[in-house]
């Protein structure tokens, strides 16, 4: 995928016209014509939504759950668009979905997380969309794999679909988490770094999985310079047929959006610019000092590895690692540095230590990260 996308797209035009992040809202699932129209009218009256979203085909983890109304719901969205003028967006997972959606004049399509993870399915959708000029949003894959996400976008681009945006909806994890899907912010930030012209939309509904998490997640996304939010809203959330816990009423959505703080990318204030530049120069100096200290530590690791080789000692020294992993976070806490951050930092140092010691002892490095344990 190219680093720069065409400047004039469905998404960039609306961003330029609005001058603020896009708001995409609507029910998780289109359940009835009355429900679809009720939400659309409320969003139109509030004047805050730029696009209407609704699930027509709902991929469920287990059979027997509500899987959407299917193509029967498409005329309801047509009616909502005709009455409110809001562009309509739905998820598609098969070429037949694409055909049905375009036949009913759906404005924007999105590819869901379960589909993004499958390159064969993405390619089939890309082939079905080729030549249509339809704007497409691509959700991150369920697993935290940046290459899969970027690969899906690239497949669409190679099929001639350049009106693209990415949706960050979080990643599945086995680890205990307060989130339904762990945000793992570093992955979407890296995607944005690689493709700065690609609009990035945050989905706090699917990340949080709970109403009380919508506001803090959405605020963090805006503070990280996301281009929009996609939020689920339902007239009666507690009785929604899918994802009830993460939906809010249109009235609550309006309150939530009004509570968000929209911050500037920069400031014309001379004092701010001068102070920011001064602090960044100090950070550059500090970074240089950090790298010098890391280089010094790596040189010590090399020296230790030579002694291990001479004395036929293994790389892994579990007691030493346990000591380091216990003491370094404590040192960090005393310096007002987050203990978890220090722990993660030393895991990275461990990976490099293993690589360097392996190269000294065996004449070749281990390919990629190791999880064998540290040899520090």
What does the pLDDT read at residue 173?
Answer: 85
Average pLDDT over residues 40-63: 90
Q: What is the Cα–Cα distance from 86 to 103, expressed in whole angstroms?
A: 18
CB of 83 closer than 8 Å to CB of 104: no
Asked if the model's pLDDT at residue 159 lies above 50, the reply is: yes
Q: How confident is the model at residue 281 (pLDDT cuts 50, 70, 90)?
A: very high
Q: State whether residue 98 is helix, strand or coil.
A: helix
286-297 pLDDT per residue, tens:
999 999 999 999
**List of residues 6+ apart from 25 with CB closer than 8 A:** 39, 43, 48, 49, 51, 52, 53, 230, 231, 232, 233, 250, 253
Asked if the model's pLDDT at residue 326 lies above 50, the reply is: yes
**What is the Cα Rg of the chain in Å?**
25
Average pLDDT over residues 259-279: 92
Q: What is the Cα–Cα distance from 145 to 148, expressed in whole angstroms?
A: 6
Asked if the model's pLDDT at residue 372 lies above 70, the reply is: no
- Read off φ and ψ for residue 53, nearest 5 degrees: -115, 145
Asked if the model's pLDDT at residue 5 lies above 60, the reply is: no
Tokens 């989130």 appear where?
A: 179
Q: What is the dihedral of CA 118, 138, 33, 74, to 10 degrees?
A: -70
Asked if the model's pLDDT at residue 231 lies above 90, the reply is: yes
Q: What is the CATH number of domain 10-259?
A: 3.20.20.70
Q: What is the Cα–Cα distance from 342 to 351, expressed in whole angstroms?
A: 14
Asked if the model's pLDDT at residue 353 lies above 70, the reply is: yes
What does the pLDDT read at residue 264?
Answer: 86
CB of 213 closer than 8 Å to CB of 175: no
Taken in order 136, 141, 142, 146, the sign of the CA dihedral is negative
Asked if the model's pLDDT at residue 92 lies above 50, the reply is: yes
Asked if the model's pLDDT at residue 7 lies above 70, the reply is: no
Q: How confident is the model at residue 91 (pLDDT cuts 50, 70, 90)?
A: very high
Q: How far is CA 232 from CA 242, 370, 371, in A?
A: 11, 40, 39
Question: Helix (H) and strand (E) counts for the chain?
Answer: 14, 8
Average pLDDT over residues 238-257: 96
What does the pLDDT read at residue 266?
Answer: 85
Average pLDDT over residues 73-77: 98
What does the pLDDT read at residue 299?
Answer: 94
DSSP for 115-128? HHT-HHHHHHHHHH
Bridge pairing between strands 22-26 and 108-111: unpaired
Asked if the model's pLDDT at residue 66 lies above 90, the reply is: no
Q: How far is CA 338 from CA 29, 344, 346, in A?
A: 41, 10, 13
CB of 171 closer than 8 Å to CB of 144: yes
Is 271-362 a domain of CATH 3.30.930.10? no
Q: What is the Cα–Cα distance from 375 to 372, expressed in whole angstroms?
A: 9
What does the pLDDT read at residue 265?
Answer: 83
H/E segment holding residue 308: helix 270-310
CB of 243 closer than 8 Å to CB of 229: no
Asked if the model's pLDDT at residue 316 lies above 90, the reply is: no
Q: What is the percent of the chain where pLDDT is above 90?
A: 81
203-229 pLDDT per residue, tens:
999 999 999 999 999 999 999 999 999
Query: What mean pLDDT value characterizes the chain?
Result: 92
26-43 pLDDT per residue, tens:
999 999 999 999 999 999
Average pLDDT over residues 300-305: 92
Asked if the model's pLDDT at residue 64 lies above 90, the reply is: no
Average pLDDT over residues 172-193: 93
CB of 168 closer than 8 Å to CB of 202: yes
Asked if the model's pLDDT at residue 3 lies above 80, the reply is: no
What are the sequence ranges of the domains in the chain?
10-259, 271-362
């Amino acid at each position: 995928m190219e680093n720069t996308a065409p400047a004039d797209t469905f998404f960039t035009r609306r961003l330029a016209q609005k001058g603020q992040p896009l708001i995409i809202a609507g029910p998780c699932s289109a359940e009835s014509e009355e429900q679809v129209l009720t939400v659309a009218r409320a969003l139109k009256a509030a004047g805050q939504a730029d696009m209407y979203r609704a699930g027509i085909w709902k991929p469920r983890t287990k059979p027997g759950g509500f899987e959407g109304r299917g193509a029967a719901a498409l005329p309801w969205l047509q009616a909502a668009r005709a009455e409110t003028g809001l562009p309509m967006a739905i998820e598609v997972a098969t070429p037949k979905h694409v055909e049905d959606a375009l036949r009913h004049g759906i404005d924007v399509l999105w590819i869901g997380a379960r589909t993004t993870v499958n390159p064969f399915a993405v390619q089939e959708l890309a082939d079905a969309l080729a030549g249509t000029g339809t704007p497409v949003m691509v959700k991150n894959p369920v697993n935290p794999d940046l290459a899969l996400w970027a690969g899906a976008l690239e497949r669409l681009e190679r099929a001639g679909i350049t009106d693209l945006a990415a949706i960050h909806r979080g990643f599945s994890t086995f680890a205990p988490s307060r989130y339904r899907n762990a945000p793992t912010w570093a992955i979407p930030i890296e995607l944005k770094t690689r493709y700065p012209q690609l609009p990035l939309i945050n989905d706090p509904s699917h990340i949080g999985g709970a109403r009380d998490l919508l506001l803090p997640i959405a605020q963090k996304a805006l503070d990280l310079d996301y281009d929009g939010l996609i939020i689920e809203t339902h007239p009666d959330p507690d009785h929604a047929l899918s994802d009830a816990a993460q939906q809010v009423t249109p009235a609550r959505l309006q309150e939530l959006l009004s509570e968000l703080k929209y911050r500037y990318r920069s400031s014309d204030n001379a004092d701010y610019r001068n102070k920011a530049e001064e602090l960044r120069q100090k950070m550059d100096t500090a970074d240089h000092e950090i790298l010098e200290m890391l280089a010094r530590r790596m040189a010590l690791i090399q020296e230790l590895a030579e002694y291990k080789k001479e004395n036929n000692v293994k790389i892994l020294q579990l007691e030493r690692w346990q000591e380091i992993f216990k003491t370094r976070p404590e040192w960090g806490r005393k310096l007002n540095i987050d203990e978890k951050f220090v722990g993660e930092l030393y895991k990275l140092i461990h990976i490099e230590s293993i690589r360097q010691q392996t190269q000294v002892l065996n004449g070749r490095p281990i390919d990629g990260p190791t999880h064998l344990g540290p040899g520090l």
